[in-house]
Structure 1
Amino acid sequence: MSLFTSQLNQRTKKYYSIAMYGLFLFLSIFTIYFMLIQNQKIFIGDDLSFHLGRIEGLYLAISNGDYFPKINYFLLEGMGYISSLFYPDFLIYPAAVLKVIGLSTAQAYVVYIIMLNFLTFVIAYHSFYSIKSSRKKAFLFALLYGLSSYRLSDVLYRAALGEILAFMVLPIAFVGIIKIVFGDYKQFYILTIGMMLLFFSHMITAFIFCIFILVFLILNVKKLIKEKQRMLYLIVAAICTILLVALSLFPMLEQLQFQKLVLQDSPMFYLEKTAEPLLKYIDTAWKNQGFNNLGLFIFILLIVLTISAKKLDYLNKQLVGMSVFFFIMATTLFPNRLLNKSILNMIQFPWRYFIIVTFSVCWVAADTLKELIPKKIKSDKWLIPVSLCLLLINTFYYQKNMETDLIGKNRMKEYSFFSELDAYQLGYGQEYLPSGFKYMMNAHSLIILPEETKVDNMKRTYNVMTLDFKAKERTKLIFPIVYYKGYKVNVEGSGTVSEIQKCQEPYGFSEVFVEGNGRLTFWYEGTTIQRVSFYISLTTAVLLIGYIWAQRKKRNAEEIVKLEDNND
């Protein structure tokens, strides 16, 4: 009988999983159907052009055998934009591969977003289950989180691919910090992996989550002082994270030391100017529109959970308290003007904190709603179905509000529209250009001073430019390539060439001086720090995988011993 029961439970779990994943896939499509799929049209979100340019640049690199590009040669129409270094491509490879196998830009983007939606539901479910061991609660969390209004605004209205990816991986980082503070701290690698993925998704969100971790550690400082080994493993997790992201982090710092970039100029945004009043956020949620839509569900749940805080356990009380804290920081109630000259100003828009508010409220709601509802109502039977229906209605009307809005109508474009992307869409701030840079060159041209110098057989293949020159006098050659560290130049023949330097007029391009006769080759080789950093990250990844394998092997052995003891 016990064998039959075991087999029945296994089949039940299997069918439950199939049904759950099937629903997640349906929701992944439904979430974007009216704005990205219906009539083969896409709503042009605020950041869509920039992220499509990132995908196109990665596709171009892969097509030319450059599998780990640092420079995007699609953006700036070939002049080279270092976005791949400062905005890592690690998690957008699937979209580029979809283009490689033949999908159009629009098709690849839509399929990619469906993938991200699906993985968001799946990761949310398993992350919650790994802590709470409740299928129903984990399922409810996945629904609340995956269909939350702020996430919808990221996916549909803003096309904020970085935050979309951050939403997907944030639960992993949260589970990691919970394991270190309250659970098996030897599983520190969960936090390491989560923070690495956050870094590669959206560095601003990774920074915001670091603030979350700092507040969380302060709230639990007594436990950490009492059990010092937990703090030790937190430090280990931080060091491993830095080493894992070294392949991007160290080269970024190198470029920032090499020359001044736009992002190092005076900030374009100040938190005090981009924060909005509480009533404005409520109005946006009520209308179910806009780019910073926290959503009525989160507002209502936050109020209910705050009122019921005394009934919550220790962790959930902390999460509700931090939700209120981060929400207030997003409003004009908080003195953001005091942060104008602080590192916090890099967040640019305080409503970015809504990702923390959304996550925390959804987590606590999924964990406690059943207990907070009076037992007479028997919430077991209707809580999840009713929640799903309400969330589907909310999702439907959010899309319909965008579709019928005048702005939305003007921003709906057919798939074919995206076959020719604007290569000059570098994001609002164009942060990674040299400070003071101006667009002035064709990517296949060359400025020769003096003009009498003869240049023949000029050719460009991806990031390599070659030409033959005959210079009777010292001649300046200005390449249509934005000046970054890592470019190299070589001459074959009797001629000579100088080191590459930044051109002053037109400002920000790469220039060299040649003399005599020779064949010149100009290309992006990368830097020593880039190469060393790559191997640091690779070595760390291998060692971490080995550690995880050893830990799992040890746990399996311990479980076998326990089973044998029980049988005896």
Structure 2
Amino acid sequence: MKLIKVNKKDALAFSAIILSILICSIIQMNLFWDKDLVLTGDDIGFHLNRVFGLAEAIKTSHYPFYIDSTFLNGYGYAANWFYPNLFLFPMAILLNLGYSLVVSYKTYIIIYTIATACVTYYCTYKMSKKVTSSSFMTILYVFSLYRAFDVYQRAALGESLAFIFLPVILYGIYEILYGQKKKWYILTIGFTGIIYTHVLSSVLAFCMLLLFLLLSIHRLREDKTKIIYFVVAGGVTILLSAFFIFPMVEQMASNTFYLNTYTLTTPSNTTYSLGTLWRSITLYYKDSSIIGLGYVLFLPLIYRFKIKKKNTIINFADKCLLIAMIFLLMTTNYFPWQHFHTLDVIQFTFRLFALVTLLMAFSCSIYVGYSVKKKYHSIGLLFIVLSLSISNASTIAQYYKDFRIHDKNQFRGEQTFKDSYNIGAGSEYLPSVTKIDVLKSRKKDEVKTKNRTTKLSHIVKDGNELYIHFDAKNKDILELPMIYYKGYEVKINNKIVPIKMSNNGLIEVPIQGKGKMEISYPGTGIQKFSFYTSITTFILLMIFILLRSIIRNKEQQHSGDSIMKYA
């Protein structure tokens, strides 16, 4: 197999950028938090509970799991059906190793920040073939103001992790449209990764893909096989993501949830006026911090005017810029959101800033890379951009600290977070009839009977398993301390019996006479099928990529030998 030669100067530049990212990430974190303190963001409670559930599942060897019994005081919450936990493993492992919540959380942020930087640099370098463009893209993207909002103010862990895979999706689109279309699997890897981190981001990324296809109709007409490769990439993505997608669809078809009946907000209610959007870019804040983009992302655009001749990468960068402007317009009240109700699921228009950040950072990095020729000029610009990015972060960090300093959920030192009822503002993944106040009024393992003469004993609850001995002289119905989700199984005297959902959204079981009841969650056939589907597809894809790499290396070696022979 042919060895890949690495340019020492390129490797040195990459190492310098990653080291700078590491140092500046720590500086940025200290701007938001004191050394031994974490101030809670909007969604941190929900995500920490997810991590605690995963840590417990790893500790007890119960992975994969769908219903997290650490939520709702043991009643269980099926967040994993709708919010994947695959990339939460590093923090869960750190907690299981005995590190404090503060240390584990901060370390995890550094880990996925470095991962974002490495992936961004690699993808940009593969497209641009320029160290300058790759370096600019990495700094603009990783230290973008919106990413800082996501990581610290919003504590949007899923969306923050999605930043890792957005550059991969962009690279995959570029390869099929402009590069080697047979590298369709890059797009597959990008979309699979983002689906397993944050589903809403995958929806937005798909919208971005559609706009690229719309603006590239002429290329697709010239080579219709490109369409086939996009379809293949999509099909394999579905198979790789089956472990998450199929069970989610099954659950949504089996019941009605808050996400179906309750809307926290819609994009039409969260649009920006042009004035607000301008303030979010210029950082002109008065009384409150506006979630925005910052001006650093736009400054390098001036280098576009220095480029006179177009090539493939410049053409792609121009399309990125155009699509970024479309998404920017969509965040304003000038966009007719009332005609796009299918996108109401994204809730906040500022989620589009993630795509604007990606596309603007890429466009600007390409323009700078193809305009600036002198090395010292490039290094100077990198230093200016990095300094301004840290300065912008400092501006919003002060507001954030003033706003959060009295938050009761902040934690420091060896303190931990304890609020099992923190399941997100919209409680999206609860059955729609469930009332959290009712759950809070009950004890952790309380089993309700309708008939007072019914006697219960030997009640033992362990996670998603429950054991009860009962003696019901008359027909009765037990309401169990478990949220109803499809896949639970109840046995009475070793025989499976039908179950229903109570008016409170809990599991309800009819009983009569004496017996022993066992409740467990073995899952459904679709859940098991989807798991093996994803694993099998992953193995086959890895074999395909490996074989393709071996064949290409042999072809290149044969070509090189032929040239030497006739030289």
- TM-score strictly above 0.5: yes
What secondary structure, in the 3-state scheme, does the structure 2 residue paired with 1:410 have?
coil
Alignment deviations for residues 95-147 of structure 1 (CA, whole Å, 9 cap, x no partner)? 11111111223322111111011111111100101111111210111011100
- Runs of at least 5 residues in structure 2 that lack an aligned partner in the other structure: none
Q: TM-score, normalised by structure 2?
A: 0.92
User: 2:445 matched to which residue of 1?
Assistant: 444
Q: Which runs of structure 2 are paired with 1:208-287 in the superposition (5 Å)?
A: 208-285=204-281, 286-287=283-284
Contact 1:64 1:462 in 2 (8 A): no
| Contact map agreement 1:24 1:122 (CA 8 A) in 2 | no
Instruction: Look up the equivalent residue of 2:250 and give its one-letter code.
Output: E
Query: Distance in 2 between the 1:266 and 1:465 partners?
Result: 31
**How far is the alpha carbon of 1:299 from its aligned partner?**
4.3
**What secondary structure is seen at the aligned counterpart in 1 of 2:120?**
helix
**Residues 69-112 of structure 1: CA deviation (Å, up to 9, x unaligned):** 10111111111111011101111111111111112233221111
Query: Structure 1 511/416 Cα, relative in aligned 2: closer, same or farther at 3 Å?
Result: farther
Query: Are the aligned partners of 2:132 and 2:378 in contact in 1 as well (CA < 8 Å)?
Result: no
**What amino acid does structure 1 have at the position aligned with 2:388?**
L
Contact 2:255 2:431 in 1 (8 A): yes
The structural deviation recorded for 1:15 is 4.1
Residues 157 and 290 of structure 1 are in contact (CA less than 8 Å); yes or no, is this contact kept in structure 2? Answer: no
> 1:377 offset after TM fit, Å?
12
Residue 450 of structure 1 deviates from its aligned partner by 1.0
Cα deviation code 1:481-522 (max 9, x no counterpart): 0010010011237xx774111012xx2000101222222111
Q: Percent identity?
A: 29
- Structure 2 vs 1, CA of residues 109 and 126 (structure 1 numbering), >3 Å: closer, same or farther? same
Moved more, 131-140 or 382-391: 382-391
Is residue 387 of structure 2 the alignment partner of residue 389 of structure 1? yes
Would the aligned equivalents of 2:57 and 2:63 in 1 still touch at CA under 8 Å?
yes
Is the deviation greater in 92-101 or in 393-402? 393-402
Q: 2:199 aligns with which of 193, 200, 203?
A: 203
State how far apart, in whole Å, the 1-side matches of 2:27 and 2:309 are.
Answer: 36
Q: CA RMSD in A?
A: 2.4
Match in the other structure for 1:334: 335
- Identify if the C-alpha distance between structure 1 residues 181 and 88 changes in structure 2 by more than 3 Å, giving closer, same or farther: same
Task: Report if aligned partners of 1:497, 1:514 keep a CA contact under 8 Å in 2.
Answer: no
Q: Does the Cα contact within 8 Å between 1:458 and 1:468 map onto a contact in 2?
A: yes
User: Is the aligned partner of 1:429 residue 2:429?
Assistant: no
Distance change >3 Å, CA 138–CA 490, structure 1 → 2: same
Question: SS of 1:39's equivalent?
Answer: coil
TM-score (norm 1): 0.92
Q: Residue 33 of structure 1: CA displacement?
A: 2.1
Counterpart of 1:184 in structure 2 is 180
Note if contact 1:35-1:41 (Cα within 8 Å) is conserved in structure 2.
no
**Greater share of residues in helix:** 1
Query: Following superposition of structure 1 onto structure 2, how do residues 15-94 of structure 1 map, counting pairs within 5 Å?
Result: 15-36=12-33, 38-94=34-90
Q: Is the 8 A contact 1:53 1:423 kept in 2?
A: yes
Listed as ranges, the gaps of 5+ residues in structure 1 are: 1-5
Q: In structure 2, do the counterparts of structure 1 residues 559 and 73 end up closer, same or farther at CA, with 3 Å as the change threshold?
A: same
Distance change >3 Å, CA 60–CA 497, structure 1 → 2: same
Residue in structure 1 matched with residue 363 of structure 2 by the alignment: 364
Cα distance, 1:475 vs structure 2: 2.0
1:541 is aligned to 2:522 = no
**Equivalent runs, 1:414-493 vs 2, <5 Å:** 414-416=411-413, 419-439=416-436, 440=438, 441-492=442-493
Contact 1:52 1:105 in 2 (8 A): no
Aligned residue pairs: how many? 551
Give yes or no for contact 1:471–1:516 (8 Å, CA) kept in 2: yes
1:150 aligns with 2:151: no
Q: Could you say what secondary structure the match of 2:505 adopts? A: strand
Q: 1:500 corresponds to which residue?
A: 499
Q: CA deviation at 1:567?
A: 2.7
CA distance in 2, matches of 1:12, 1:298: 27
CA deviation string 1:194-229 (max 9, x = no partner): 001111111111101101100100111111121111
Which structure would you say has the larger RCO, counting Cα contacts within 8 Å and 6 or more residues apart? 2
Relative to 1, partners in 2 of residues 1:14 and 1:220: Cα closer, same or farther, differing over 3 Å?
Answer: closer
How far apart, CA to CA, are the structure 2 residues paired with 1:566 and 1:459?
A: 76
Deviation, structure 1 residue 332 = 1.0
8 Å contact kept, 1:75–1:424: yes
- Compute the displacement of 1:281 (Å): 2.2
Q: Give me the whole-angstrom Cα distance separating, in 2, the residues matched to 1:402 and 1:301.
A: 27
Distance 1:307 1:410 in 2: 48
- The secondary structure found in structure 1 opposite 2:164 is helix
Q: 2: CA distance between counterparts of 1:442 and 1:401? A: 40
Does 427-436 or 362-371 show the bigger shift?
362-371
State the 1:283 CA deviation: 1.8
Asked if structure 2 preserves the Cα contact closer than 8 Å seen for 1:498 and 1:514, the reply is: no
Amino acid at match of 2:348: F
Residues 1:557 and 2:558 aligned together: no
Supply the AA of the counterpart residue of 1:249: I
SS of equivalent residue, structure 2 residue 428 = coil
Superposed displacement of residue 560, structure 1: 1.3
Q: For 2:139, what is the secondary structure of its paired residue? A: helix
The equivalent residue for 2:352 is 353
**Cα shift readout 1:256-306 (whole Å, capped 9, x = no counterpart):** 11111111115331222111112112223424773622111224456x478
CA contact (8 A) 1:157 1:291 kept: no
Alignment check: 8 A CA contact 1:319 1:361 kept: yes
**Counterpart for residue 112 of structure 2:** 116
Relative to structure 1, the CA distance from residue 396 to residue 101 in structure 2 (aligned partners, 3 Å threshold; closer, same or farther) is same
Secondary structure at 1:398's aligned position in 2?
helix
Q: Which amino acid aligns with 1:117?
A: T
Partner of 1:3: none
Deviates more, 1:522-531 or 1:462-471: 462-471
